[in-house]
């Protein structure tokens, strides 16, 4: 595939990524925008949102879901059965529930929900509601080019299966530590996934997230993993 045919990825900070397809349609992964302290002010008003993928229920991933879904009414909102149920009860009509291992068509792309080693609950008026299992997504373009958004996860060795099954070229991997992988685990994840490029996410938003992209570069080099770190500051596109 010609590189220019890939989606344009705009990093909105933390784990939120806006994918703009060739025809201008967009997929928003993890709708935490207006209340995301990392998101640049001029990007908080989204032009269009045609589909949304939600990795898990935590507020730093879907805290602005209801507002964004109400404003943009995307064609398809992909999340676990449980999160979709919660959204549906709040008036969201276009949910496309799924569960890990499954694949569905979203805007002409193949979206596969995969496991994550984390937790998932939805904050609802001070209570924590079960959000199903935490997930990540493999998104495969019609010509087979694929990328992986890991959501929040620790390292798990079955990432090797994701390499066998989907051959992702690019991965968005959390590196901040404390709630997710640290840079050393993320370097091993790059090895397991056999990805050529990695975009660090879930870092720098809060002081407790201590892992940095330069740590990841060092760990990749120490592990002898040939993978390019594509560091995006919030607001930057790739
Ligand atoms: Ni989380
Ligand atoms: Mn998180």
Identify the pLDDT of residue 3. 53
* Percentage of the chain lying above the pLDDT 90 cut: 97
* Average pLDDT, integer, range 222-230: 97
* DSSP β-ladder status, 197-201 and 170-174: parallel
State residue 226 phi and psi, 5-degree precision.
-90, 90
* Average pLDDT, integer, range 114-131: 95
**What is the CA angle 92-113-219, rounded to 5?**
125
Contact between 141 and 25 under an 8 Å Cβ cutoff? The reply is no
Neighbours of ion ligand 2 (CB under 5 A): 60, 152
Identify the pLDDT of residue 178. 98
Q: Could you give the domains of the chain?
A: 3-229 (3.60.15.10)
* CA 37 to centroid of ligand 1, rounded, Å: 16
Identify the pLDDT of residue 5. 77
Helix (H) or strand (E) segment spanning residue 82: helix 81-89
Identify the pLDDT of residue 183. 98
Query: Whole-model pTM?
Result: 0.97
Identify the pLDDT of residue 231. 98
* CA 164 to centroid of ligand 1, rounded, Å: 26
* CA 166 to centroid of ligand 2, rounded, Å: 24
Indicate which ligand has the atom closest to the C-alpha of 174: 2
What are the structure tokens assigned to 116, written together? 């994550």
* Average pLDDT, integer, range 22-42: 97
* CA 175 to centroid of ligand 1, rounded, Å: 13
Decide if pLDDT at 2 tops 70.
Answer: no
* Average pLDDT, integer, range 78-99: 97
* Average pLDDT, integer, range 8-22: 97
* CA 174 to centroid of ligand 2, rounded, Å: 9
* CA 219 to centroid of ligand 2, rounded, Å: 22
132 vs 17, 55, 88, 184, CA distance in Å? 22, 10, 15, 28
* CA 141 to centroid of ligand 2, rounded, Å: 26
Distance CA 62, CA 87 (A): 11
* Percentage of the chain lying above the pLDDT 70 cut: 98
Distance CA 154, CA 167 (A): 20
Band (pLDDT 50/70/90 cuts) for residue 1 is very low
């Amino acid at each position: 595939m010609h590189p220019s045919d890939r989606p344009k990825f705009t990093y909105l900070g933390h784990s939120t990524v806006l994918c703009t397809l060739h025809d201008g349609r967009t997929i928003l992964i993890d709708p935490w925008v207006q209340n995301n302290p990392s998101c640049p002010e001029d990007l908080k008003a989204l032009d269009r949102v045609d589909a949304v993928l939600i990795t898990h229920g935590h507020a730093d991933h879907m805290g602005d879901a209801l507002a964004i879904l109400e404003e943009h009414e995307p064609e398809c909102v992909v999340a676990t059965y449980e999160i979709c149920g919660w959204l549906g009860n709040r008036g969201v009509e276009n949910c496309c529930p799924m569960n890990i291992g499954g694949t569905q068509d979203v805007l002409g792309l193949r979206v596969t929900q995969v496991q994550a080693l984390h937790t998932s609950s939805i904050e609802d008026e001070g209570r924590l509601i079960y959000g199903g299992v935490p997930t990540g997504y493999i998104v495969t373009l019609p010509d087979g080019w694929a990328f992986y958004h890991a959501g929040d996860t620790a390292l798990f060795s079955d990432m090797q299966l994701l390499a066998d099954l989907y051959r992702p070229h690019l991965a968005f991997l959390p590196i901040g530590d404390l709630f997710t992988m640290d840079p050393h685990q993320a370097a091993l994840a790059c090895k397991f996934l056999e990805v050529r490029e990695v975009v660090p996410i879930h870092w720098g938003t809060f002081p407790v997230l201590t892992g940095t992209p330069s740590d990841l570069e060092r760990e990749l080099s120490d592990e002898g993993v040939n993978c390019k770190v594509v560091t995006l500051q919030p607001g930057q596109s790739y």
